[in-house]
Structure 1
Amino acid sequence: MNQVLAKLNEIQQGQIGIKVYCTRSNGFLDSINPEMTIPLASAAKIAIGYCAAAGVETGELNWNDLVDNISFNPGEDSKELYPHLQLRSSLQLREAVEVMIACHDSYVAGEIVRYCGGWEKVNHTIQAAFPSIHATENPRSQENKGKLDETLNLIIHIYEEYIKKPDIWTPIINGLVRQKGGIDGIPSFHLNHMTGGLDHALVDIGIMGAFGEQPLLFAVGAVNLPNRFHDKTADQKIIEAMKLLYQEYTKH
Protein backbone atom coordinates (compact mmCIF):
# COMPACT_ATOMS: atom_id res chain seq x y z
CA MET A 1 0.00 0.00 0.00
CA ASN A 2 2.98 2.30 0.55
CA GLN A 3 3.66 2.36 -3.19
CA VAL A 4 0.05 3.34 -3.91
CA LEU A 5 0.19 6.25 -1.47
CA ALA A 6 3.59 7.35 -2.77
CA LYS A 7 2.31 7.39 -6.34
CA LEU A 8 -0.70 9.51 -5.39
CA ASN A 9 1.53 11.90 -3.45
CA GLU A 10 3.33 12.63 -6.71
CA ILE A 11 0.28 14.74 -7.66
CA GLN A 12 1.63 18.17 -6.75
CA GLN A 13 -1.33 20.35 -7.71
CA GLY A 14 -4.66 19.76 -6.00
CA GLN A 15 -5.72 17.58 -3.11
CA ILE A 16 -5.90 13.79 -3.30
CA GLY A 17 -7.63 11.24 -1.09
CA ILE A 18 -7.87 7.46 -0.96
CA LYS A 19 -9.34 4.89 1.41
CA VAL A 20 -9.31 1.13 0.88
CA TYR A 21 -11.08 -1.70 2.69
CA CYS A 22 -9.69 -5.23 2.62
CA THR A 23 -12.42 -7.88 2.75
CA ARG A 24 -9.84 -10.52 3.65
CA SER A 25 -8.87 -8.82 6.92
CA ASN A 26 -12.13 -6.90 7.34
CA GLY A 27 -10.05 -3.80 7.95
CA PHE A 28 -8.99 -0.53 6.36
CA LEU A 29 -5.58 -0.04 4.80
CA ASP A 30 -3.47 3.13 5.11
CA SER A 31 -5.25 6.16 3.67
CA ILE A 32 -4.82 9.77 2.57
CA ASN A 33 -7.36 12.48 3.49
CA PRO A 34 -10.23 10.03 4.09
CA GLU A 35 -12.55 12.77 5.37
CA MET A 36 -12.12 15.15 2.43
CA THR A 37 -15.30 16.22 0.67
CA ILE A 38 -15.40 15.37 -3.02
CA PRO A 39 -17.83 16.20 -5.83
CA LEU A 40 -19.48 12.92 -6.80
CA ALA A 41 -20.46 13.70 -10.40
CA SER A 42 -21.81 10.47 -11.93
CA ALA A 43 -20.75 8.41 -8.92
CA ALA A 44 -23.78 9.78 -7.03
CA LYS A 45 -25.85 7.34 -9.10
CA ILE A 46 -24.60 4.55 -6.86
CA ALA A 47 -26.24 6.36 -3.94
CA ILE A 48 -29.47 6.63 -5.95
CA GLY A 49 -29.25 2.89 -6.63
CA TYR A 50 -28.76 2.33 -2.91
CA CYS A 51 -31.96 4.29 -2.23
CA ALA A 52 -33.92 2.10 -4.66
CA ALA A 53 -32.52 -1.10 -3.14
CA ALA A 54 -33.32 0.16 0.37
CA GLY A 55 -36.92 0.69 -0.77
CA VAL A 56 -37.07 -2.85 -2.14
CA GLU A 57 -35.63 -4.18 1.11
CA THR A 58 -38.33 -2.50 3.20
CA GLY A 59 -41.09 -3.56 0.79
CA GLU A 60 -41.94 0.00 -0.24
CA LEU A 61 -40.71 -0.72 -3.77
CA ASN A 62 -40.41 -3.81 -5.95
CA TRP A 63 -37.71 -4.48 -8.52
CA ASN A 64 -40.44 -5.50 -10.98
CA ASP A 65 -42.20 -2.12 -10.70
CA LEU A 66 -42.35 -0.23 -13.99
CA VAL A 67 -40.60 3.14 -14.27
CA ASP A 68 -42.31 5.17 -17.01
CA ASN A 69 -41.23 8.11 -19.19
CA ILE A 70 -37.85 6.53 -19.81
CA SER A 71 -35.50 8.21 -22.24
CA PHE A 72 -31.79 7.68 -22.63
CA ASN A 73 -29.11 10.35 -22.51
CA PRO A 74 -27.66 10.43 -26.05
CA GLY A 75 -24.33 11.56 -24.65
CA GLU A 76 -23.84 8.25 -22.83
CA ASP A 77 -23.37 4.72 -24.17
CA SER A 78 -26.67 2.90 -23.66
CA LYS A 79 -26.94 2.40 -27.44
CA GLU A 80 -23.84 0.24 -27.26
CA LEU A 81 -24.47 -1.49 -23.92
CA TYR A 82 -28.26 -1.82 -24.11
CA PRO A 83 -29.27 -1.66 -27.79
CA HIS A 84 -32.33 -3.84 -27.11
CA LEU A 85 -33.83 -1.25 -24.74
CA GLN A 86 -33.70 1.80 -26.99
CA LEU A 87 -37.33 1.65 -28.20
CA ARG A 88 -38.80 1.18 -24.74
CA SER A 89 -40.41 4.03 -22.80
CA SER A 90 -40.67 2.07 -19.55
CA LEU A 91 -38.27 -0.22 -17.72
CA GLN A 92 -38.54 -2.40 -14.66
CA LEU A 93 -36.94 -0.67 -11.70
CA ARG A 94 -34.20 -3.32 -11.66
CA GLU A 95 -33.40 -2.61 -15.33
CA ALA A 96 -33.45 1.15 -14.85
CA VAL A 97 -31.02 1.03 -11.92
CA GLU A 98 -28.63 -1.19 -13.84
CA VAL A 99 -28.72 1.05 -16.92
CA MET A 100 -28.32 4.21 -14.83
CA ILE A 101 -25.11 2.90 -13.24
CA ALA A 102 -23.69 1.07 -16.24
CA CYS A 103 -24.19 4.04 -18.57
CA HIS A 104 -23.87 6.97 -16.09
CA ASP A 105 -27.27 8.00 -17.47
CA SER A 106 -28.69 11.13 -15.82
CA TYR A 107 -31.98 10.91 -17.76
CA VAL A 108 -32.72 7.45 -16.38
CA ALA A 109 -31.52 8.58 -12.94
CA GLY A 110 -34.07 11.40 -12.94
CA GLU A 111 -36.95 9.00 -13.61
CA ILE A 112 -35.76 6.60 -10.91
CA VAL A 113 -35.64 9.46 -8.42
CA ARG A 114 -39.12 10.59 -9.45
CA TYR A 115 -40.41 7.05 -8.99
CA CYS A 116 -38.75 6.81 -5.56
CA GLY A 117 -40.52 9.97 -4.37
CA GLY A 118 -38.35 12.85 -5.53
CA TRP A 119 -34.95 14.28 -4.68
CA GLU A 120 -35.80 15.32 -1.13
CA LYS A 121 -37.03 11.84 -0.20
CA VAL A 122 -34.12 10.13 -1.94
CA ASN A 123 -31.60 12.29 -0.11
CA HIS A 124 -33.36 11.68 3.19
CA THR A 125 -32.97 7.93 2.65
CA ILE A 126 -29.31 8.24 1.64
CA GLN A 127 -28.39 10.56 4.49
CA ALA A 128 -30.02 8.36 7.12
CA ALA A 129 -27.06 6.03 6.57
CA PHE A 130 -24.47 8.29 4.91
CA PRO A 131 -25.03 11.83 6.25
CA SER A 132 -22.51 13.67 4.07
CA ILE A 133 -23.70 12.27 0.74
CA HIS A 134 -26.06 14.52 -1.20
CA ALA A 135 -27.26 13.80 -4.75
CA THR A 136 -28.62 16.40 -7.16
CA GLU A 137 -30.36 16.35 -10.52
CA ASN A 138 -27.39 18.07 -12.13
CA PRO A 139 -24.38 15.75 -11.64
CA ARG A 140 -22.06 18.74 -12.11
CA SER A 141 -23.58 20.67 -9.22
CA GLN A 142 -21.29 21.58 -6.31
CA GLU A 143 -23.98 20.21 -3.99
CA ASN A 144 -23.63 16.76 -5.55
CA LYS A 145 -21.00 15.67 -3.05
CA GLY A 146 -19.94 13.48 -0.13
CA LYS A 147 -17.02 12.66 2.12
CA LEU A 148 -14.57 10.17 0.68
CA ASP A 149 -14.82 7.76 3.61
CA GLU A 150 -18.63 7.70 3.40
CA THR A 151 -18.54 6.90 -0.31
CA LEU A 152 -16.36 3.92 0.61
CA ASN A 153 -18.81 2.96 3.38
CA LEU A 154 -21.55 3.04 0.74
CA ILE A 155 -19.63 0.56 -1.43
CA ILE A 156 -18.87 -1.64 1.60
CA HIS A 157 -22.56 -1.72 2.50
CA ILE A 158 -23.65 -2.60 -1.04
CA TYR A 159 -20.99 -5.31 -1.38
CA GLU A 160 -21.74 -6.91 1.98
CA GLU A 161 -25.50 -6.79 1.45
CA TYR A 162 -25.08 -8.29 -2.03
CA ILE A 163 -23.15 -11.22 -0.55
CA LYS A 164 -25.95 -11.82 1.99
CA LYS A 165 -29.00 -10.88 -0.11
CA PRO A 166 -28.18 -10.95 -3.83
CA ASP A 167 -31.86 -10.94 -4.79
CA ILE A 168 -32.12 -7.37 -3.48
CA TRP A 169 -28.73 -5.88 -4.36
CA THR A 170 -27.94 -7.48 -7.74
CA PRO A 171 -29.17 -4.58 -9.97
CA ILE A 172 -26.53 -2.23 -8.53
CA ILE A 173 -23.79 -4.82 -8.88
CA ASN A 174 -24.92 -5.61 -12.45
CA GLY A 175 -24.47 -1.95 -13.33
CA LEU A 176 -20.97 -1.82 -11.84
CA VAL A 177 -19.97 -5.01 -13.64
CA ARG A 178 -21.36 -4.00 -17.03
CA GLN A 179 -20.09 -0.42 -17.29
CA LYS A 180 -17.00 0.44 -19.28
CA GLY A 181 -13.96 2.34 -18.05
CA GLY A 182 -11.23 -0.27 -17.82
CA ILE A 183 -7.56 0.23 -16.98
CA ASP A 184 -4.87 -1.52 -19.00
CA GLY A 185 -3.19 -4.11 -16.82
CA ILE A 186 -6.26 -4.84 -14.71
CA PRO A 187 -8.63 -7.51 -16.08
CA SER A 188 -12.02 -5.93 -16.73
CA PHE A 189 -13.75 -8.57 -14.59
CA HIS A 190 -11.56 -7.52 -11.65
CA LEU A 191 -12.47 -3.82 -11.81
CA ASN A 192 -16.12 -3.13 -11.09
CA HIS A 193 -16.33 0.57 -10.37
CA MET A 194 -18.01 3.91 -10.97
CA THR A 195 -16.10 7.00 -12.01
CA GLY A 196 -17.11 10.62 -11.92
CA GLY A 197 -15.19 13.44 -13.50
CA LEU A 198 -15.34 17.23 -13.65
CA ASP A 199 -12.94 19.80 -15.07
CA HIS A 200 -10.95 20.07 -11.84
CA ALA A 201 -11.99 16.99 -9.86
CA LEU A 202 -12.54 13.26 -10.15
CA VAL A 203 -13.75 10.30 -8.11
CA ASP A 204 -13.56 6.53 -8.54
CA ILE A 205 -15.28 4.09 -6.19
CA GLY A 206 -15.73 0.37 -6.53
CA ILE A 207 -14.63 -3.23 -6.13
CA MET A 208 -11.22 -4.51 -7.22
CA GLY A 209 -10.78 -8.26 -7.57
CA ALA A 210 -12.92 -11.36 -7.91
CA PHE A 211 -16.15 -11.34 -5.89
CA GLY A 212 -15.46 -14.77 -4.47
CA GLU A 213 -11.80 -14.09 -3.68
CA GLN A 214 -11.92 -11.34 -1.04
CA PRO A 215 -11.64 -8.19 -3.16
CA LEU A 216 -10.47 -4.74 -2.15
CA LEU A 217 -13.12 -2.02 -1.93
CA PHE A 218 -11.85 1.46 -2.67
CA ALA A 219 -12.66 5.15 -2.97
CA VAL A 220 -10.28 7.60 -4.64
CA GLY A 221 -10.93 11.31 -5.10
CA ALA A 222 -9.09 14.44 -6.17
CA VAL A 223 -10.10 18.11 -6.09
CA ASN A 224 -8.64 21.46 -7.10
CA LEU A 225 -6.75 19.89 -10.00
CA PRO A 226 -5.49 21.72 -13.07
CA ASN A 227 -8.05 21.51 -15.87
CA ARG A 228 -8.14 17.80 -16.63
CA PHE A 229 -9.04 18.36 -20.27
CA HIS A 230 -5.66 20.05 -20.80
CA ASP A 231 -3.50 18.45 -18.11
CA LYS A 232 -3.73 14.66 -17.73
CA THR A 233 -1.03 14.39 -15.04
CA ALA A 234 -3.39 13.63 -12.14
CA ASP A 235 -5.42 11.16 -14.20
CA GLN A 236 -2.28 9.28 -15.17
CA LYS A 237 -0.94 9.17 -11.61
CA ILE A 238 -4.26 7.80 -10.36
CA ILE A 239 -4.27 5.13 -13.09
CA GLU A 240 -0.74 4.14 -12.06
CA ALA A 241 -1.83 4.02 -8.41
CA MET A 242 -4.79 1.80 -9.32
CA LYS A 243 -2.43 -0.62 -11.06
CA LEU A 244 -0.29 -0.71 -7.93
CA LEU A 245 -3.41 -1.31 -5.85
CA TYR A 246 -4.26 -4.24 -8.09
CA GLN A 247 -0.79 -5.65 -7.48
CA GLU A 248 -1.54 -5.31 -3.77
CA TYR A 249 -4.70 -7.35 -4.29
CA THR A 250 -2.93 -10.11 -6.22
CA LYS A 251 -0.45 -10.58 -3.35
CA HIS A 252 -3.06 -11.91 -0.96
Structure 2
Amino acid sequence: MSGRVEGKVALVTGGAMGLGKADCLRLAEEGAKVVVTDIDLGKAQAVADAIGGHAFAQDVRDEARWQEIISEVERLHGRLDILVNNAGNVIFESIEDCSADNFRLHMAIHVEGTFFGCKYALPLMKASGGGSIINMASTAALMGYGTIVAYTAAKGAIRAMTKSIAMHCQDNNYGVRCNVLMPGGIETPMVQAVSGRPGKEEPVPEGVLPAMALGAPRDVANMILYLASDEARFLTGNEYPIDNGLNARPHH
Protein backbone atom coordinates (compact mmCIF):
# COMPACT_ATOMS: atom_id res chain seq x y z
CA MET A 1 0.00 0.00 0.00
CA SER A 2 1.40 3.38 -0.98
CA GLY A 3 1.66 6.28 1.43
CA ARG A 4 -1.09 8.83 1.89
CA VAL A 5 0.93 11.60 0.21
CA GLU A 6 2.98 9.36 -2.10
CA GLY A 7 4.59 11.30 -4.95
CA LYS A 8 3.68 14.71 -3.53
CA VAL A 9 6.23 17.46 -2.94
CA ALA A 10 6.01 19.41 0.35
CA LEU A 11 7.67 22.60 1.59
CA VAL A 12 7.73 23.13 5.36
CA THR A 13 9.04 26.38 6.89
CA GLY A 14 10.51 26.33 10.39
CA GLY A 15 11.12 22.63 9.78
CA ALA A 16 14.25 22.26 11.93
CA MET A 17 12.54 21.58 15.26
CA GLY A 18 9.27 21.34 17.14
CA LEU A 19 6.07 21.16 15.12
CA GLY A 20 7.83 21.79 11.81
CA LYS A 21 10.21 18.88 12.31
CA ALA A 22 7.32 16.57 13.24
CA ASP A 23 5.47 17.68 10.09
CA CYS A 24 8.50 16.92 7.90
CA LEU A 25 8.96 13.46 9.41
CA ARG A 26 5.28 12.53 9.15
CA LEU A 27 4.89 13.71 5.54
CA ALA A 28 8.05 11.87 4.50
CA GLU A 29 6.89 8.74 6.32
CA GLU A 30 3.78 8.72 4.09
CA GLY A 31 5.69 9.17 0.85
CA ALA A 32 6.16 12.92 0.30
CA LYS A 33 9.38 14.48 -0.93
CA VAL A 34 10.01 17.18 1.66
CA VAL A 35 11.89 20.46 1.37
CA VAL A 36 12.84 21.71 4.85
CA THR A 37 13.54 25.39 5.40
CA ASP A 38 14.62 27.14 8.57
CA ILE A 39 16.68 30.07 9.77
CA ASP A 40 18.96 27.38 11.34
CA LEU A 41 20.33 25.55 8.30
CA GLY A 42 22.34 23.04 10.35
CA LYS A 43 19.29 21.69 12.15
CA ALA A 44 17.19 21.83 8.97
CA GLN A 45 19.84 19.81 7.15
CA ALA A 46 19.79 17.17 9.90
CA VAL A 47 16.02 16.76 9.45
CA ALA A 48 16.39 16.63 5.65
CA ASP A 49 19.17 14.03 5.90
CA ALA A 50 16.99 11.84 8.12
CA ILE A 51 14.19 11.77 5.53
CA GLY A 52 16.10 12.01 2.25
CA GLY A 53 14.90 15.54 1.62
CA HIS A 54 16.49 18.90 0.86
CA ALA A 55 17.20 21.77 3.25
CA PHE A 56 17.55 25.50 2.66
CA ALA A 57 18.31 28.43 4.92
CA GLN A 58 15.32 30.75 4.98
CA ASP A 59 14.23 33.82 6.88
CA VAL A 60 10.51 33.91 6.01
CA ARG A 61 10.52 37.72 6.33
CA ASP A 62 12.70 37.96 3.21
CA GLU A 63 10.50 38.29 0.11
CA ALA A 64 13.32 37.72 -2.40
CA ARG A 65 14.40 34.58 -0.55
CA TRP A 66 10.87 33.19 -0.87
CA GLN A 67 11.10 33.57 -4.64
CA GLU A 68 14.48 31.80 -4.65
CA ILE A 69 13.16 28.92 -2.50
CA ILE A 70 10.15 28.33 -4.76
CA SER A 71 12.46 28.40 -7.80
CA GLU A 72 14.68 25.80 -6.09
CA VAL A 73 11.66 23.58 -5.38
CA GLU A 74 10.68 23.81 -9.04
CA ARG A 75 14.24 23.05 -10.16
CA LEU A 76 14.51 20.03 -7.86
CA HIS A 77 11.04 18.54 -8.24
CA GLY A 78 9.20 20.38 -11.01
CA ARG A 79 6.13 20.77 -8.80
CA LEU A 80 4.77 21.73 -5.36
CA ASP A 81 1.74 20.05 -3.82
CA ILE A 82 1.92 20.93 -0.11
CA LEU A 83 2.95 24.15 1.64
CA VAL A 84 3.12 24.26 5.44
CA ASN A 85 3.67 27.82 6.71
CA ASN A 86 4.93 26.84 10.15
CA ALA A 87 7.78 29.24 11.01
CA GLY A 88 7.05 31.46 14.01
CA ASN A 89 8.23 33.12 17.20
CA VAL A 90 6.72 34.25 20.49
CA ILE A 91 7.69 36.98 22.96
CA PHE A 92 5.70 37.23 26.18
CA GLU A 93 4.51 40.84 26.44
CA SER A 94 1.18 42.45 27.24
CA ILE A 95 -0.24 45.44 25.37
CA GLU A 96 1.47 47.72 27.91
CA ASP A 97 4.87 46.03 27.71
CA CYS A 98 5.09 45.28 23.99
CA SER A 99 7.39 47.55 21.98
CA ALA A 100 6.49 48.64 18.48
CA ASP A 101 9.58 46.79 17.22
CA ASN A 102 8.53 43.50 18.83
CA PHE A 103 4.99 43.92 17.53
CA ARG A 104 6.33 44.44 14.01
CA LEU A 105 8.68 41.47 14.40
CA HIS A 106 5.73 39.13 15.05
CA MET A 107 3.84 40.61 12.11
CA ALA A 108 6.85 40.19 9.82
CA ILE A 109 7.57 36.57 10.76
CA HIS A 110 4.03 35.23 11.09
CA VAL A 111 1.87 37.37 8.85
CA GLU A 112 4.24 38.54 6.12
CA GLY A 113 6.02 35.18 6.14
CA THR A 114 2.72 33.38 5.54
CA PHE A 115 1.63 35.98 2.98
CA PHE A 116 4.85 35.58 0.97
CA GLY A 117 4.67 31.80 1.20
CA CYS A 118 1.14 31.65 -0.18
CA LYS A 119 1.77 34.35 -2.78
CA TYR A 120 4.88 32.77 -4.29
CA ALA A 121 3.92 29.11 -3.89
CA LEU A 122 0.54 29.51 -5.60
CA PRO A 123 1.76 29.79 -9.22
CA LEU A 124 3.77 26.57 -8.89
CA MET A 125 0.94 24.78 -7.06
CA LYS A 126 -1.54 25.84 -9.76
CA ALA A 127 0.84 24.57 -12.46
CA SER A 128 1.13 21.28 -10.54
CA GLY A 129 -2.62 20.73 -10.81
CA GLY A 130 -3.53 21.90 -7.32
CA GLY A 131 -2.49 21.20 -3.76
CA SER A 132 -2.90 22.00 -0.11
CA ILE A 133 -1.72 25.06 1.84
CA ILE A 134 -1.72 24.65 5.61
CA ASN A 135 -1.10 27.76 7.70
CA MET A 136 -0.20 27.62 11.37
CA ALA A 137 -2.13 29.79 13.79
CA SER A 138 -2.84 28.95 17.44
CA THR A 139 -5.62 28.74 20.00
CA ALA A 140 -4.34 32.25 20.78
CA ALA A 141 -6.30 33.39 17.68
CA LEU A 142 -9.53 32.23 19.36
CA MET A 143 -9.01 33.07 23.03
CA GLY A 144 -7.78 35.97 25.13
CA TYR A 145 -4.20 35.59 26.32
CA GLY A 146 -3.19 38.87 27.96
CA THR A 147 0.53 38.07 28.03
CA ILE A 148 1.15 37.60 24.27
CA VAL A 149 -0.51 40.51 22.50
CA ALA A 150 1.68 40.57 19.37
CA TYR A 151 1.50 36.78 18.94
CA THR A 152 -2.29 36.71 19.26
CA ALA A 153 -2.66 39.55 16.76
CA ALA A 154 -0.39 37.80 14.27
CA LYS A 155 -2.16 34.46 14.62
CA GLY A 156 -5.55 36.16 14.25
CA ALA A 157 -4.35 37.71 11.00
CA ILE A 158 -3.22 34.30 9.68
CA ARG A 159 -6.63 32.86 10.54
CA ALA A 160 -8.45 35.52 8.51
CA MET A 161 -5.96 35.58 5.63
CA THR A 162 -6.27 31.80 5.20
CA LYS A 163 -10.01 32.11 4.50
CA SER A 164 -9.43 34.82 1.90
CA ILE A 165 -6.79 32.73 0.12
CA ALA A 166 -9.04 29.65 0.21
CA MET A 167 -11.91 31.52 -1.46
CA HIS A 168 -9.62 33.07 -4.07
CA CYS A 169 -8.28 29.64 -5.04
CA GLN A 170 -11.76 28.10 -5.11
CA ASP A 171 -13.29 30.95 -7.14
CA ASN A 172 -10.52 30.58 -9.72
CA ASN A 173 -10.66 26.76 -9.85
CA TYR A 174 -7.00 26.38 -8.95
CA GLY A 175 -7.53 23.06 -7.17
CA VAL A 176 -5.61 24.50 -4.21
CA ARG A 177 -7.13 24.13 -0.75
CA CYS A 178 -6.08 26.39 2.13
CA ASN A 179 -6.75 25.66 5.82
CA VAL A 180 -5.47 26.89 9.16
CA LEU A 181 -4.49 24.91 12.27
CA MET A 182 -4.77 26.20 15.83
CA PRO A 183 -2.67 24.09 18.17
CA GLY A 184 -3.00 24.44 21.92
CA GLY A 185 -0.16 23.47 24.26
CA ILE A 186 2.18 21.02 22.52
CA GLU A 187 5.43 19.57 23.89
CA THR A 188 7.87 21.58 21.74
CA PRO A 189 11.10 23.53 22.39
CA MET A 190 9.04 26.76 22.38
CA VAL A 191 6.70 25.44 25.10
CA GLN A 192 9.62 23.96 27.05
CA ALA A 193 11.27 27.38 27.13
CA VAL A 194 8.03 29.06 28.21
CA SER A 195 7.56 26.41 30.93
CA GLY A 196 10.97 27.21 32.40
CA ARG A 197 12.62 23.95 31.26
CA PRO A 198 14.48 24.87 28.07
CA GLY A 199 15.79 21.83 26.21
CA LYS A 200 14.16 19.41 28.66
CA GLU A 201 11.61 17.32 26.82
CA GLU A 202 8.97 15.49 28.83
CA PRO A 203 7.35 12.37 27.35
CA VAL A 204 3.71 12.65 26.28
CA PRO A 205 1.75 9.52 27.27
CA GLU A 206 -0.11 7.37 24.74
CA GLY A 207 -3.91 7.30 24.55
CA VAL A 208 -6.50 9.98 25.27
CA LEU A 209 -5.03 12.71 27.46
CA PRO A 210 -6.61 14.48 30.43
CA ALA A 211 -7.67 18.13 30.37
CA MET A 212 -4.82 20.67 30.25
CA ALA A 213 -2.22 18.02 29.26
CA LEU A 214 0.33 18.97 26.61
CA GLY A 215 -0.07 17.23 23.27
CA ALA A 216 2.71 15.66 21.20
CA PRO A 217 4.05 17.26 18.01
CA ARG A 218 2.72 14.24 16.09
CA ASP A 219 -0.83 15.21 17.15
CA VAL A 220 -0.43 18.29 14.95
CA ALA A 221 1.59 16.45 12.27
CA ASN A 222 -1.19 13.87 11.84
CA MET A 223 -3.67 16.67 11.06
CA ILE A 224 -1.17 18.23 8.65
CA LEU A 225 -0.88 14.86 6.92
CA TYR A 226 -4.65 14.52 6.60
CA LEU A 227 -5.15 18.03 5.22
CA ALA A 228 -2.22 17.52 2.81
CA SER A 229 -3.70 14.29 1.47
CA ASP A 230 -6.40 13.82 -1.16
CA GLU A 231 -8.62 12.44 1.62
CA ALA A 232 -9.27 16.06 2.64
CA ARG A 233 -10.50 17.14 -0.83
CA PHE A 234 -13.71 18.69 0.59
CA LEU A 235 -11.95 20.82 3.21
CA THR A 236 -10.93 24.39 2.47
CA GLY A 237 -11.19 27.73 4.27
CA ASN A 238 -11.59 25.90 7.58
CA GLU A 239 -9.92 26.28 10.97
CA TYR A 240 -8.97 23.35 13.17
CA PRO A 241 -8.19 23.74 16.86
CA ILE A 242 -5.86 20.90 17.95
CA ASP A 243 -6.22 21.51 21.64
CA ASN A 244 -7.81 18.56 23.49
CA GLY A 245 -10.97 20.53 24.17
CA LEU A 246 -9.26 23.65 25.53
CA ASN A 247 -11.32 26.02 23.40
CA ALA A 248 -14.58 24.32 24.38
CA ARG A 249 -13.89 24.26 28.12
CA PRO A 250 -15.68 26.88 30.27
CA HIS A 251 -13.35 28.77 32.59
CA HIS A 252 -14.66 29.64 36.02
TM-score (norm 2): 0.28
TM-score (norm 1): 0.28
